[in-house]
């Protein structure tokens, strides 16, 4: 891709993350809610979120999946951002090792990775 294409893609990213949408829809509300969560709970700036999403987009080559014949660049980017904000939220939501596990539901399989398991073989000395 040429450098002016990167600028076009980055501008689409800036637009999708901004609050300046002309026609605000459910996707806009979803994106803004996720960004608000990252900003308030994890102390990220909108610029950091934008740069991290764009870096992921560029490094993984997701731009190659875009086809102008199928949809507009803004539409492609807004769906991409909505999806990858979920990944960003999951990555920042990982609890630190010092955090106590007293609020974990052990039956919830999604949280099993956060539990420290006792190895029975090593406890029998």
Chain-centroid distance of CA 118 in Å reads: 32
Residue 67: partners with Cβ closer than 8 Å, 6 or more residues away: none
* 56-60, 66-70, 85-89, 111-115: the lowest-pLDDT one: 111-115
Indicate the pTM of the whole model: 0.64
Give tens-digit pLDDT for 62-108: 777 777 777 777 778 888 889 899 988 888 886 555 555 555 565 66
Mean of pLDDT over the chain: 76
Greater confidence, 4 or 108?
Answer: 108
> Contact, 84 vs 37, CB < 8 A?
no
Burial class (CB in 10 A: 0-12, 13-18, 19+), 68: exposed
Whole-angstrom Cα Rg for the chain: 19
Token pair recorded at residue 18: 């901004």
Alpha helices in the chain (DSSP H): 3-17, 26-42, 46-59, 73-92, 120-123
Token pair recorded at residue 38: 């990252």
């Amino acid at each position: 891709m040429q450098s002016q294409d990167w600028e076009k893609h980055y501008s689409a990213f800036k637009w999708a993350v901004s609050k300046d949408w002309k026609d605000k829809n459910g996707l806009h509300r979803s994106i803004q809610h996720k960004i608000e969560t990252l900003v308030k709970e994890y102390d990220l700036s909108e610029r950091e979120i934008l740069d991290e999403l764009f870096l992921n987009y560029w490094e993984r080559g997701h731009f190659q999946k875009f086809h102008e014949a199928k949809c507009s660049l803004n539409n492609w980017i807004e769906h991409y951002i909505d999806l990858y904000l979920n990944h960003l939220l999951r990555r920042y939501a990982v609890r630190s090792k010092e955090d106590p596990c007293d609020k974990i539901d052990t039956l919830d399989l999604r949280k099993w990775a956060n539990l420290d398991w006792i190895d029975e073989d090593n406890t029998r000395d």
